Structure 1
Amino acid sequence: MPPISPFGRTVCAMVTPFTPDGALDLDGAQRLADRLVGGGCDGLVLGGTTGESPTTSDAEKSALITAVTEAVGDRARITAGVGSADTRHTVELARAAEKAGAHGVLVVTPYYSKPPQEDVAAHFRTVADASGLPVMLYDIPGRTGTRIEPDTMLRLAEHPRIAGVKDCAYDLLGSAKVIAATGLAYYSGSEEMNLPLRAVGAVGYVSTVANVAGPLLAAALDAFDRGENAEATRYHQRALPLIELMMASGLPGTVTAKALLNALDLPAGPVRAPLRAASPERTEALVTAYETAIAARAR
């Protein structure tokens, strides 16, 4: 079994529901969070990339944390996305998240400025020192332009509040080395890597696809942890067409997740510009892939 983590195991990177006119929909967020937790997610990340962090205000982020924590905080771990390109602003967001009731924070590598590794490490340590919450590092060089190198991870693991990593680096060797050498709780941030990373010691996943297919993703992890590797592979393979269409077909996961949630009459609402809604044709394809994946799990 994976080690115990302060962030959960089957974690959904939850969308931020908006009303039709684009305002924050706190009632919808509570209803969606309740559904996700009831469907097997033992953790939620709020205000991350999928949660449209670049286009939500600091006040909206705090209000979302408070509302969702009130709804499901006794049943799931709530991790707040607090990353930004500015260390000072990230510290402010981490403190606000703690005040709003979050159980942990997700901190992405500072983007655009491309700081060197020592500066990256100093950024994370400063944020970790700013609150009493456990920190999950978010390594996604494809978006930020900067990797958290394995040697930097090893140094950061010495900090008492740096507890986990959301891994979107696509470096299985590097991740495996850090997992083997530290107590960091690793999470797959790319659904196609859920089983490969779990096989080398990761705790679980932080998933956009879990907004609509949480039970299917959890079934693969559960089967693996029971030692039923063939069954785990079957579930994983059944999810791959949906994963590909949602995450690797030219549209951001926020757009595809909201398209599916809206089609299923679940809380989501529009995306905020510069993102634009999926076309009817793409939404129809997503619904077909979703229905096929869910039907496959039932067999």
Structure 2
Amino acid sequence: MKDMNECRERLRGIFNITVTPFDAQGEIDFTALRENIERVIGLGYDGILIGGTYGEFPVMSLAERRTLFNEVMNCVQDRIPVMLCSASSDPRDARELTALAGDLGAVPMVTAPYVSEITEGQILTYFEAIAPLSKTGILVYNAPGIGITLSPSLLEKLADIPGVVGIKQGDLNPTAIDQIANRLRGKLRLFCASDLAFLGPMMAGFDGISTTNSGALPELVLATYRALEQGDAATARDLHQLWYDYRVLARQHGQPQLVKAAMALRGFNGGTVRAPLQPISAEAQDALTRVMKQLARQASSGVTLVD
């Protein structure tokens, strides 16, 4: 993507949150990463998100993140739009990565600063300073799990900043979703940050979703999204219900950990997680294996759920 106009046009649909595969020595396995990117491109995903919270960016060095950005963009070659997470606890790193992501032709995804007792005015000032650094604009990530929950009223103010092209909404409170969809729809791109509960935001008028669990269940999550996109809410509901037991495990054991374990069961190389995260327990692995086998038995409606 060369500028904000192109970014706004292409920033929609279903984006795979690509896990960062770490090998046994803790290094990024770029061969595995490329394989996982090519899989979702081949299946027809609209875009990918790299190095986000479930991509484990907090445990990567600045140098690793620079390399990750460059390797991914060299792989994708503008075939699909790419979100590159440039969030950081250090605003200096966030500024550098935001500029780099835009220069590479991706849209940088930025969170509010991780500072206690920061005011709404200071958050606005932060985004006003960082948005112009990217020629493609920025995506504001409202990420309650790792920082401050941005209120709908604050998001409205952020939407007025030149260079803010979208919001990835992690606060899935129905009231917040209703406010954001009805007050900001059409003004900028709205993304639901979770595939665990994306039917509501999409029905409310959001432009797309980012999905971690599509690393393990790419066909099923894609089929669910496409059904909803085509106005077939009943099929989307039925497909979403098929992997409820999987979602229970994801909430219990952590998504990057569970996704990587489920990917391994399918022969996909998601690698391992980095400390402080740990691989799932043997008990959780047994439960996951049962759920994945059940999904394989439920393959229906021409959709390959699990091989």
Matched, 1:23 2:27: yes
Correspondence for 2:261 = 259
Correspondence for 1:49 = 53
Which segment is superposed worse, 264-273 or 288-297? 288-297
3-state SS of 2:216 partner: helix
Structure 1 counterpart of 2:298, one-letter code: A
Equivalent residues of 1:65, 1:102 under 8 A apart:
no
Equivalent residues of 2:216, 2:260 under 8 A apart:
no
Alignment CA distance shift 1:36-1:291 (3 Å): farther
1:60-79 aligned at under 5 Å gives the runs 60-79=64-83
Equivalent residues of 1:108, 1:137 under 8 A apart:
yes
List gaps (5 residues or longer) in structure 2: 1-7, 302-307
Correspondence for 1:187 = 191
Structure 1 segments (4+ residues) deviating >6 Å: none
Q: 1:78-100 CA distances to partner (integer Å, 9 max, x unpaired)?
A: 1111111232221111122234x
The match for 1:109 among 106, 109, 112 is: 112
Deviation for aligned residue 1:293: 3.3
Structure 1 counterpart of 2:14, one-letter code: T
Equivalent residues of 1:176, 1:201 under 8 A apart:
no
Quick one: distance in 1 between partners of 2:195 and 2:128?
28
Equivalent residues of 1:40, 1:215 under 8 A apart:
no
Matched, 1:80 2:84: yes
Matched, 1:37 2:37: no
Correspondence for 1:127 = 130
Quick one: distance in 1 between partners of 2:62 and 2:280?
27
3-state SS of 2:176 partner: helix
Equivalent residues of 1:17, 1:28 under 8 A apart:
yes
Correspondence for 1:140 = 143
List gaps (5 residues or longer) in structure 1: none
1:192-211 aligned at under 5 Å gives the runs 192-211=196-215
Q: 1:172-201 CA distances to partner (integer Å, 9 max, x unpaired)?
A: 222222222222222211223211000100
Across the aligned residues of Structure 1 and Structure 2, the Cα RMSD in angstroms comes to 1.9
Matched, 1:224 2:251: no
Equivalent residues of 1:80, 1:102 under 8 A apart:
no
Quick one: distance in 1 between partners of 2:125 and 2:293?
46
Quick one: distance in 2 between partners of 1:73 and 1:10?
19
Equivalent residues of 1:80, 1:97 under 8 A apart:
yes
Deviation for aligned residue 1:112: 4.4
Q: 1:60-91 CA distances to partner (integer Å, 9 max, x unpaired)?
A: 11222222222224322111111112322211
Deviation for aligned residue 1:5: 4.8
Percent identity reads 25
TM-score normalised per structure 2:
0.88
Deviation for aligned residue 1:295: 4.3
Quick one: distance in 2 between partners of 1:124 and 1:46?
21
Equivalent residues of 1:6, 1:134 under 8 A apart:
no
Deviation for aligned residue 1:134: 2.6
Correspondence for 1:12 = 16
Which segment is superposed worse, 259-268 or 52-61? 259-268
Matched, 1:178 2:180: yes
Quick one: distance in 2 between partners of 1:91 and 1:35?
31
Alignment CA distance shift 1:124-1:292 (3 Å): farther
Alignment CA distance shift 1:59-1:98 (3 Å): farther
Alignment CA distance shift 1:113-1:186 (3 Å): same
Matched, 1:270 2:259: no
Which segment is superposed worse, 45-54 or 280-289? 280-289
Equivalent residues of 2:101, 2:134 under 8 A apart:
no
Equivalent residues of 1:79, 1:102 under 8 A apart:
no
